[in-house]
Each structure stands twice: as structure tokens, then as C-alpha cells.
Chains A and B, each alone.
Chain A
Amino acid sequence: MPKNILLHNALRLTVIPLLFILFQAGIIRAESAEEKGLAIAIEADRRDSGYEDSTAAMLMILRNRHGQESRRELRYRTLEVKNDGDMSLTIFDSPKDVKGTAFLNYTHKIGDDDQWLYLPALKSVKRISSSNKSGSFMGSEFAYEDIASQEVEKYTYKWLRDEIFDNRECFVLERYPVDMKNSGYSRQVVWIGKDEFRIWQVEYYDRKNTHLKTLTFSGYRKHNDSFWRPDRMFMINHQTGKNTELQFSDYRFKVGLSPDDFNKNSLKRAK
């Protein structure tokens, strides 16, 4: 017994103050939930960077609560930009009345994105009000902010827990839009796999903090030995019963796109 007391005292007198000093000096730190959340988001972003540019085809299937379907075909190009968000160009192939319509987006890490829409009938390029984050993209259940490049800086984070989701070990984070004024959400809950830092599910909570939508990712495949991309994204709106499915195909990476492929001229000739 006395031995234990001795040890106890020794701990109290030496080890604990030492730890305290180390904490103060920042050498050892207990991560807060916010820091852990941010660290996971940064790691997920790091693993996906370096793809340079990519192209893909996208089939968008819109379904109402009666199961009636409407399809849109799109093509998608994106370019990594150093020290800022990605540039992307989305071209509509169907329905045919919007064929040739193209949407150009310059994502910014900080502040509003820059967005333009090309209307082929008039041959005019229209700038879109960039705070249109919560607006529906093409009548789908995806808002502009859901399809835009998910830059780390667009949210603040908080790690909630670790959890098995769909037989996979996941981090569960909460993220909060930085642009609270224009985002349609108060928060999002994100499931990120521990193995490859791929997102498996996002729950969206509206500004009244009611569960609005859930997005699930499936059919992840590794491209160019480095970049994981899902073949399918499924967004369901719990309040309206409508859902939108995105099916991706023809992923290509490092095809040699440059900023000149993302200016107004390229918007006009995107067929």
C-alpha cells in the first residue's frame, strides 16, 4: 500500500505537471471535436487533389413521389485551380429544348462562386446571381451548393463519432456552411470511410434544422490508380418524397484541359 501511495505521489508531483507543461507548450494536444472534424475534411480533400482535370458523362433521373421519371443527359468538365476552388463546365444534351445550354462555375474557397449560363437560342451568356446556392439545379433535388465543388473552406466542421455505416468504419462529421446567409442548410452530417476517406452519405438539415434530404454514394471505383469516384449518387427529399439519381460514366482524368477551356468562348462553343 505505502508503495502505491508513493507511486501515486510521484505521479502527482512529477508526471502530471510535466504533461501539463507539454500541453501548454502545444507539444501534446488533445484534439477538440472541431479540430478532428477539420483534420478529416482536409485529409479527404488532400487524397482527392492532384487529378488536374477530368471529364465525365452524367445521367440525371428525376422522380416525383408517384415514381414518374424525367431524364437529363449532361457532360461535365472540371479543372483544378491552384490556391482556389475548381473550375467546372456542365453541358446539357437533353431534354432537347435545352441542348447546348452550358453552365460555367468558378468555385472559390472564400466568398461567392462566379457562375454563368449560356443560352444557345439567343447565343447569350448570362451571369447568374452567385448567392443562388440553395436554388434547384435543373429542377432536380440537388441545389447548386450540392453540385458545386466541395471546398474545405466552405464549411466549418465538428467530429461527432465513429460509427459502422453499411459495414464500413466511418467518421461521422457535422459541417456548417460558412455562408449561413445564402445556404439552404443549417448543417450537414457526413459519413466518411476511414479507409479511403470517401464520402458515403450526407444528411442535409434545412434552416429550421429539419431533416430535408439524404444523399448516398455508391459504386466507387478507382481511376488512374488514384482517384475514387462514385458511379451513382442518390438524393432523396424527405419533405416532398421526390428523388434525383445521378449516374456517372466515362470518367477521364488528366486529359489536358486548361483555363482556356473554361472561359466564355468555350462556354459558347460547348456542344
Chain B
Amino acid sequence: MKKISIAILSLLSIGLLLATSASAHELNGHASVEARLFFNEPLYQDQEWNNGSIEFAPEYYHEWESGSSFTFVPFLRLDSSDSERTHFDIRELNFLLLGDPWELRLGIGKVFWGVTEFVHLIDIINQTDLVEDIRGEDKLGQPMAQLSIPSDWGVFDFFILPFFRERTFPGREGRLRAEVVVDTGTPLYESSAAENHVDFALRYTHIFDFADLGIYYFKGTGRDPILIPSADANGQPILLPFYQLMDQVGLDLQLVTGNWLWKLEVLYQENTMENFYAATGGFEYTFIGINGSSMDLGLIAEFVYDDRKDDAATSFENDLLWGFRLAVNDTASTELLLGLSYDLNKKGNVLQLEASRRLRDDVKIFVEGWAFLNTEPDDYYLDSIRDDDFIRLRIFYYF
């Protein structure tokens, strides 16, 4: 950890030093306030009913004449009830060196892989910041060296990932957790190097006329932990995250034909305990200008399957996911998304509704509603949050 702190400090000071010598600086970002209001009383001891929270994420960006740049994005959340949700992270702190035609990113960065709407199977470079959001789309900054080489036959990306980030989990006071709390203080690793194991990834992407294809190979510590029942010093039951070494290959494919977008993500993983595959895919069909208005309506249907079935470390192991996305296309950029997951093994459904709208040029409001229905004890996580239906209200101020 100490080495990492030194590395971060030196990157930061080099960046700021170099940046002050030149002209173009940009400071942007946002601050937000949030309320999460739960319909039901908490199920577990120590949990607080509702929570309020503030978040701050400034972004410093500097670009040199050459096109090379420096980015620094710290992140801070303060939460009224969950001490684990109160957290600081460096989302980005990196140099982008622009060659011709290659580019090299050095430092803490964020990378997104994938095409589907609901489940992001192959987005495996950055660790999930799970306390932020149950969708798993918020990510922790990942130390990396990324070399990207475009060619006529596609783009080749090489990643060296020298430090592992542990997933965040809600604490005792937080909601949207299992009955037994995950203890993030003492994670277990298969690698003897623990979080210092150096991971490696290779990715190839290419655009064909009507298709976007990506394939990858990842070797290193997997981001999804196995949760092992244990006890803390006081004999209280806890779950210990165990991070395995793995080899994974995967593919993402997106086809476009007229108003149809077809999407597919597939992965195959080998680790010391098992080999398995998982896949998700489906379509999005867009109705443009419904009823002669300027509104667009998208219909989304996706299927997700995990070969490990009930042993999968996910609630989405054999599920259908439906979505309706409405883009009003007004000046306030009003958008609505309705999503419903349907477990084909009848182990529960998730209903989500999201809406957003710009209130002023620099203020935007986000409202979400979540309901967890028909849950069964077979799906441990989903059943644990059966009483956690909630509304999340966020107001963002951009500067």
C-alpha cells in the first residue's frame, strides 16, 4: 500500500509540475446529493432505514500541444449511515502519451469492455465499486499501463495491471447487503503475491461494415470474489472475499441492421476449481419519432446465462431482461428506462425504473426506483435484499 501511495504521489506531482509549465488547463466535475428511501423496515440488526449522502468528483485535465494529456479524477462520498459507503478513491490519475499511431496510458485509469445493456459480463479490467450502486457500473480506479496500437486490421490493446483493487461491499449499517456482512479488511488471495500479483490482458477490436467485434484474453486475479463463511474476532459470522487466479477469454459482438442492434458477450474462464462459460445477448429495437413526435422508444430484450447455474456468483444465471427506454429528445434531455429481470428458474425478479432530466444548464436530477420481487432462498443475495425496495433521488451540480 505504501508503494502505491508513493507511486500516486509522484504521478500527481509530475503531472501538476508538467501541467503548470504549459497553458491549457481544464477543471470540471460534479458534486451531488443523494437520498435513498426504503419502503420497508430493515431486515437485519445494525442496519439503518434510510440514508443521505454527498459525493464530490472533480476532474482536472491538461492537454499538451502534442495531444498527450494528464487526467486526475479523485472521488469522495460521505454517507450518513454506512461507514463502508463513505469512501475515497482515485478514479483516474494518468498520462496519455500520444504516439503515431499508438497511444500509451500510464497510471490509474478506467476501461469499459462490453456491449449489452443490463449485465456487463466482460467488463473485467476495473473492479466494481459495489457500495456506489447495485448495477455494478461504478468502478474503482485501476493502476495500469495500456498500450493501444491501431492498424488497418483493428486495434490491439496490451494491458499490464500491477495492483489489484478489492471490491467494496456495504457495511453493517448499510442496506442492500446479505444478512452476513462481507469483511473487506482481510481478503483472501489465491496468489501468494496477494494484491501485488501482476495481471495481464490483451484485447483486439475491429469495426466491420455492420459489426463491431472485440476479443480478449485475461490472465490474473479475477475481479469477482467467492464469499467464504467465516467468523470475526468476536465470533460473529462474516463473509471473507476470496479472489482466484484465472485465465479468461471472451468475445463481444454488436451487429446493426436498420433499427435493430444485436448484442452478444461470451466468456470462458478456467481457474483451479472449475472451468465455465457465461453469455449474455439480445437486441435493442428503436422506434424513431413515435406518434409523429420527436420521442424515441427503444425496446430491449436480453438473455443471460451462466454455466455454473445455481453456484454462480451472480443472481443473473438464467434470466431474461426486458427494457423500455424512452428518449424524449427535449432540451432538458429527459430520459426514462424501465427494466425487468425474469429468472427462468423462478428465483426472483428485479424491477427498475430510472428517469433523468436537466433542471438547469448545470443541474440534473436522477430518480430511480427498485423493487425485488418473488425472491427465493435459492438465490441468496437477491433473497437477502427482498425487503430493500427503494427510491433513489440524486441531484447533480456540474461545474
A-side interface residues toward B, CB under 8 Å? 62, 64, 70-71, 94-99, 112, 114, 122-124, 127, 129-136, 139, 182, 184, 260, 263-265, 269, 271
- Are B256 and A130 neighbours in the complex by a CB distance under 8 Å? yes
Residue of A nearest to B92 (CB): A123
Complex Cα gap A117–B290 (Å): 22
- Are B112 and A124 neighbours in the complex by a CB distance under 8 Å? yes
User: What is the minimal beta-carbon distance from A151 to any residue of chain B, in angstroms?
Assistant: 17
- Are A96 and B329 neighbours in the complex by a CB distance under 8 Å? no
- Are B259 and A123 neighbours in the complex by a CB distance under 8 Å? no
Residues of B within 8 A of A265 (CB): 103, 148, 150, 155
Complex Cα gap A8–B332 (Å): 75
User: What is the minimal beta-carbon distance from B71 to any residue of chain A, in angstroms?
Assistant: 9
Segment with Cβ contacts to A, from B192-200, B226-234, B303-311, B357-365: B357-365
Complex Cα gap A66–B251 (Å): 50
Contacts A96-B399, A97-B398, A263-B150; A269 near B103 (Cβ below 8 A): yes
Contacts A136-B329, A265-B150, A271-B69; A96 near B362 (Cβ below 8 A): yes
B244-263 to A contact mask, C-beta < 8 Å, 1/0: 00000000001010111100
Show 26 A/B contacts (Cβ-Cβ < 8 Å), sorted by A.
A70-B331, A70-B361, A71-B361, A95-B358, A95-B362, A96-B30, A97-B30, A97-B364, A97-B398, A99-B398, A114-B209, A129-B256, A130-B256, A131-B258, A131-B259, A132-B259, A135-B288, A136-B294, A139-B294, A139-B331, A139-B333, A260-B100, A263-B155, A265-B155, A271-B26, A271-B69
Residues of B within 8 A of A136 (CB): 294, 329
- Are B398 and A127 neighbours in the complex by a CB distance under 8 Å? no
Interface flag for B114 (CB, 8 Å): yes
User: What is the minimal beta-carbon distance from B292 to any residue of chain A, in angstroms?
Assistant: 8
Indicate the size class of the contact surface on chain B: 35 or more
Residue of A nearest to B211 (CB): A127
Residue of A nearest to B126 (CB): A123
- Are B286 and A132 neighbours in the complex by a CB distance under 8 Å? yes
Complex Cα gap A17–B175 (Å): 95
Complex Cα gap A62–B333 (Å): 12
Which of B61, B137, B205, B284 contacts A129, CB < 8 Å?
Answer: B284
Contacts A70-B331, A265-B150; A96 near B398 (Cβ below 8 A): yes
Interface flag for B396 (CB, 8 Å): yes
Interface flag for B55 (CB, 8 Å): no
Contacts A260-B150, A264-B155, A269-B96; A95 near B361 (Cβ below 8 A): yes
Interface flag for B378 (CB, 8 Å): no
Residue of A nearest to B96 (CB): A269
Contacts A114-B207, A123-B110, A264-B205; A129 near B362 (Cβ below 8 A): no
- Are A129 and B258 neighbours in the complex by a CB distance under 8 Å? yes
- Are B101 and A260 neighbours in the complex by a CB distance under 8 Å? yes
B90-128 to A contact mask, C-beta < 8 Å, 1/0: 000000101011010000001110110000000000000
Interface flag for B84 (CB, 8 Å): no
Contacts A97-B364, A263-B150; A271 near B329 (Cβ below 8 A): no
Complex Cα gap A49–B103 (Å): 31
B197-227 to A contact mask, C-beta < 8 Å, 1/0: 0000000010101101000000000000000
Contacts A123-B110, A139-B331, A269-B96; A184 near B289 (Cβ below 8 A): yes
Interface flag for B40 (CB, 8 Å): no
Complex Cα gap A204–B2 (Å): 65
Complex Cα gap A262–B260 (Å): 24
User: What is the minimal beta-carbon distance from A123 to any residue of chain B, in angstroms?
Assistant: 4
Interface flag for B296 (CB, 8 Å): yes
CB under 8 Å from chain A, chain B span 237-288:
254, 256, 258-261, 284, 286, 288
Complex Cα gap A198–B289 (Å): 31
Complex Cα gap A260–B155 (Å): 11
User: What is the minimal beta-carbon distance from A255 to any residue of chain B, in angstroms?
Assistant: 12
**Quick one: which of B30, B100, B261, B294 has the most chain A CB within 10 A?**
B294
Contacts A265-B148, A269-B96; A129 near B261 (Cβ below 8 A): yes
Contacts A129-B261, A129-B286; A62 near B331 (Cβ below 8 A): yes
- Are A127 and B212 neighbours in the complex by a CB distance under 8 Å? yes
Which of B98, B137, B259, B358 contacts A122, CB < 8 Å?
Answer: B137
Complex Cα gap A264–B333 (Å): 25
Complex Cα gap A134–B63 (Å): 36
Residues of A within 8 A of B331 (CB): 62, 64, 70, 139
Residue of B nearest to A244 (CB): B331
Residue of B nearest to A141 (CB): B294
